[in-house]
């Protein structure tokens, strides 16, 4: 999209039922759709049919370093190669409105391939408060996209990313939550191939309640990375 041009939203009332309603939204700029969204809404209903996975056992966020603290730790190494120093400085300079604490941060000095799974503690920066739940859902949608597709690249660290973009992103909201409170983001990639990658994610409240489930498919184009030492 073009941030300098207003966005025209076309909303189609696809279905309006007693319990469930569906809306199809098309965002348009310069006469062309830049974004489409299919949203389903449900009235709150109780049911005896309830279950969920078990939240992974991980250290609490208070015991972990933030992404900024980890980057600063790497930058303090005088033997860090200049190209990696520039890359880390670029990440550090990004104005990301999310607090992130990786549970198992990757070792920048290790080129070993990893399992396509990662865990983060995440929350929105600042105070949102007890506002409309739809606001927290919108913020969670933003949070869920950060580093999500990159999970599919963990077993392929020998390649340099030329192009990576989301094709579609789906979310299911299960329970109330606060996007400005710490939540555990569990990400995994069950498949990649044909220049595409599939990732799945779960956002857990600190009390172990599964709040949100996510899925994303994206384009991933890579090239062989030159064999250079990070030191």
Q: Per the residue annotation, which of 21, 29, 114, 145 is the catalytic one? A: 145
Catalytic residue check, 107 = no
What distance in Å separates the CA atoms of residue 105 and residue 165, rounded to the nearest whole number? Answer: 23
Q: How far is CA 14 from CA 21, 23, 138, in A?
A: 8, 5, 21
Catalytic residue check, 166 = yes
Task: Determine phi and psi for 117, rounding to 5 degrees.
Answer: -145, 145
Catalytic residue check, 145 = yes
Q: Is 228 exposed, middle or buried, given 0-12, 13-18 or 19+ CB atoms closer than 10 A?
A: exposed
Q: Per the residue annotation, which of 42, 158, 166, 170 is the catalytic one? A: 166
Going by C-alpha positions, the residue among 214, 165, 152 that lies closest to residue 185 is 214
Q: Is 121 exposed, middle or buried, given 0-12, 13-18 or 19+ CB atoms closer than 10 A?
A: buried
Contacts of 221 (CB under 8 A, 6+ apart): 161, 162, 163, 164, 195
What distance in Å separates the CA atoms of residue 131 and residue 129, rounded to the nearest whole number? Answer: 6
- Annotated catalytic residues are 145, 166, 216
């Amino acid at each position: 999209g073009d941030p300098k041009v207003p966005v025209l939203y076309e909303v189609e009332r696809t279905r309006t039922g007693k319990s469930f309603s569906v809306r199809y939204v098309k965002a348009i700029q310069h006469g062309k759709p830049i974004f489409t969204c299919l949203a389903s809404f449900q009235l709150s209903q109780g049911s005896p049919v309830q279950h969920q996975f078990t939240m992974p056992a991980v250290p609490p966020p208070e015991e972990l370093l933030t992404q900024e603290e980890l980057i600063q730790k790497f930058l303090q190494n005088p033997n860090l190669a200049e190209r990696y120093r520039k890359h880390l400085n670029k990440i550090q300079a990004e104005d990301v409105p999310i607090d992130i604490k990786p549970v198992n941060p990757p070792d920048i000095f290790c080129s070993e391939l990893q399992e396509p799974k990662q865990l983060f503690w995440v929350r929105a920066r600042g105070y949102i408060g007890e506002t409309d739940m739809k606001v927290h859902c919108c913020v969670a949608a933003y949070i869920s996209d950060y580093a999500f597709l990159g999970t599919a690249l963990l077993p392929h660290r020998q390649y340099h990313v030329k192009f990576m973009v989301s094709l579609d992103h789906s979310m299911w909201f299960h329970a109330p939550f606060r996007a400005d409170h710490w939540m555990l983001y569990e990400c995994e990639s069950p498949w990649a191939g044909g220049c595409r990658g599939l990732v799945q994610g779960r956002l857990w409240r600190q009390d172990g309640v599964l709040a949100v489930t996510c899925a994303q498919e994206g384009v991933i184009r890579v090239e062989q990375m030159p064999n250079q030492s990070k030191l």
